[in-house]
Amino acid sequence: MTGSSSGTATTAGAREHARAQEAQALDGAAGGRLAMPVLPASAWPTPPPGVAAGDLVWAETLGAGGYTHLVVERGTAVRLTDLTGDACAHVLLHNADEPWERLNVADTVKVQWQVHLTADHLLLSGQGRALASIVADTSGRHDSLFGTTTRRRNEERYGDGSAHGPSPAGRELFTLAAAKHGLDRRDLPPSISFFQGVRVDDDGRPRPTGSAGPGAAVTLLAEMRLLVLVTNTAHPLDPAPAFRSGPLEVVAWRATPTTPDDARWTATPEGRRALEATAAYLTTRGTR
């Protein structure tokens, strides 16, 4: 190999570049699409308030156009944070043990009589079970109607929608994330997105409301063992003429699943039935 050791043309230069990427991930200032989980997660420099570093099980920062995938145990909290106000977290959830059971956004909205999801709402599967609870939300700017972007749409708007291009579509990124777990496109239902709000006006037209600004966060609590897929790319209705996306922090820690003595369990009859259905499912599997 030839070239200066300050670049990547030599083994020494490539090694230093790789080590610099690790340091960049650790300080939370990911550039480009860097998605490098900090190992161990307890080394993450900024644990969520009230969370002991030793309870962290996952920590990383996704750059613009990045994606991640993780399997979390029941009772794990997953916090997504929009670091600059330009992130849009598109999220899919699958039952990690039986991935044919997955997030059903239509049922989530219909069963709970609420299209604007926030703290104390549930994310439901097509089986009527609670996959996860939203336990904290400082953003309030989310969307459960319009899903993620497609390659064709991004090519029309930005000129490219491929997974490794400058303006990757969420559907393409989800396909890569799902493939790591033996899933393909048919296993990818409509997703929910966080941090870029949309309202529908009286004439039925969607009106983007933008983000809540830097530092907005939402925390999901796994009510069963979950496969969590996250892509960080522009919202399909983003009014900006150019592709826009910013860094997204993903941190997970050991917590406690919702139990009958939690206020969320009895907050609504619809939520109670979903949580009871989850409990019954886990009991039959011997995992509760």
Q: What is the DSSP letter of 75?
A: T
Amino acid at 165: G
Q: Is 52 helix (H, G, I), strand (E, B) or coil?
A: coil
Residue 23's pLDDT is 58
Question: CA 211 to CA 192: how far, in whole Å?
Answer: 15
pLDDT of residue 287: 84
CA distances from 181 to 69, 98, 184, 190, 228 (A): 9, 12, 9, 18, 11
Token duo for residue 122: 């549930």
pLDDT of residue 8: 73
pLDDT at 272: 97
Which residue in 148, 143, 228, 252 sits closest to 190, CA to CA?
Answer: 148
* Contact between 61 and 29 (Cβ < 8 Å): yes
pLDDT at 12: 84
Is the bond preceding residue 40 a cis peptide, omega within 30 degrees? Answer: yes
Q: Which residues of the chain have pLDDT under 70?
A: 1-6, 21-35
Mind listing the pLDDT tens digit for each residue in 140-179?
999 999 999 999 999 999 999 999 999 999 999 999 999 9
The answer to whether the beta carbons of residues 142 and 150 sit under 8 Å apart is no
How many CB atoms within 10 Å of residue 71? 15
Query: What integer pLDDT is reported at residue 52 of this predicted model?
Result: 96
Burial of 221 (0-12, 13-18, 19+ CB in 10 A): buried
CA 23 – CA 221 distance, rounded (Å): 29
Distance of CA 85 to the CA centre of its chain: 15
Closest alpha carbon to 231 in 175, 183, 181: 175
**pLDDT of the residue at 161:** 97
CA–CA separation, 235 vs 143, rounded Å? 9
Q: What is the pTM of this model?
A: 0.91
pLDDT at position 2: 43
